[in-house]
Amino acid sequence: MNGFPWAALALNAAVSAGAVLVVVLAAFAVGVRTGRHRGVDVAWEIGFAAVAGATYGMSAGHGDATRRVLVLVLTAVWGLRLALHIAWRSRGHGEDPRYERMLAKAPGRRDLYALRMVYLLQGALILLVSLPVQIASYAPSEPSLLAVVGTVVWGVGLCFEAVGDHQLARFKADPAHRGQIMDRGLWSWTRHPNYFGDFCVWWGLFLVACEAGPWPALLAALSPLTMSFLLLNGSGKPLLERHMADRPGYAAYVARTSGFFPRPPRRDRPPR
């Protein structure tokens, strides 16, 4: 096992679970009070920042100090930026249609169903997806080339998320664009720059964690694999595209724009 501190990592996972539970229960209390459970999307990112903070403290004396700071900064910057963006974007809105549809079919009490199927489920996913954050912090070696590459991949992901979110927000803020499809900037290279950014963030953090050794890296791989599945086949891309499918001009946008990985847009074919 190459001397990796597995017992310390297990204790770290338990402490991280406690931190995530505090975050999701606080979000649940707010959701019950306001009657809107869309705040769990903000708690998702805050949960990762909480794991990073708890792990930074717990890994002292085990992992390399530089790597511990690196992982804390990468995770907190990504998580808090996205949490603030989602909170700003959702201000003044009612319940998220996804949760409205889910909770309308809830057996028994609506709030308790939300606690089980939304908050606690997302809390468990936070623990799974945050494995690279926890594992990388316990790697005893100094960061090397793989950590640099991982940080660059993370940076590409953050740029795609932040720039894509900014471009979309500016587009929606213009009343002249009401009912139109956003097909400019990064959105002309991929229909999902924010999801592609998320994809890069977690593969980047995985690369940073790979320097902990082959067995820890194998465990850490569960994170980007899970996120890739969710983004490409689960609650990310497919769900959003079903919601957008009937909008005017969307079929043409799909025909000329990559579904996920960025590439230059295809030219519209002239009508015959």
Q: Is 262 a member of any domain?
A: no
List the one residue out of 166, 243, 237 whose CA is nearest residue 196: 237
Q: Which contacts of 116-121 are long-range, i.e. CB under 8 A and separated by 24 or more positions?
A: 118/37, 118/40, 119/24, 119/25, 119/27, 119/28, 119/31, 119/37, 119/40, 119/43, 120/24
Taking the C-alpha atoms of residue 251 and residue 257, their distance in angstroms, rounded to an integer, is 10
Residue 266 lies in a domain: no
3-state secondary structure of 220: helix
Tens digit of each residue's pLDDT, the chain (272 residues): 458 999 999 999 999 999 999 999 999 999 999 989 999 999 999 999 999 999 999 999 999 999 999 999 999 999 999 999 999 998 888 888 888 888 888 888 899 999 999 999 999 999 999 999 999 999 999 999 999 999 999 999 999 999 999 999 999 999 999 888 999 999 999 999 999 999 999 999 999 999 999 999 999 999 999 999 999 998 889 888 888 888 888 999 999 999 999 999 987 654 33
For residues 31 and 39, is the Cβ–Cβ distance under 8 A?
yes
Total number of domains in the chain: 1
Nearest to 122 by CA among 31, 244, 243, 238: 31
Q: Establish if 261 belongs to a structural domain.
A: no
Is 269 among the domain residues?
no
Q: How far apart are CA 78 and CA 20, in angstroms?
A: 17
Within a domain: residue 267? no
Domain residues for the domain of 206 are: 6-256
Q: Taking Cα atoms as reference points, which of 75, 213, 220 lies closest to residue 154? A: 75
Report if residue 87 sits inside a domain: yes
- Asked whether residue 272 is domain-assigned, the answer is no
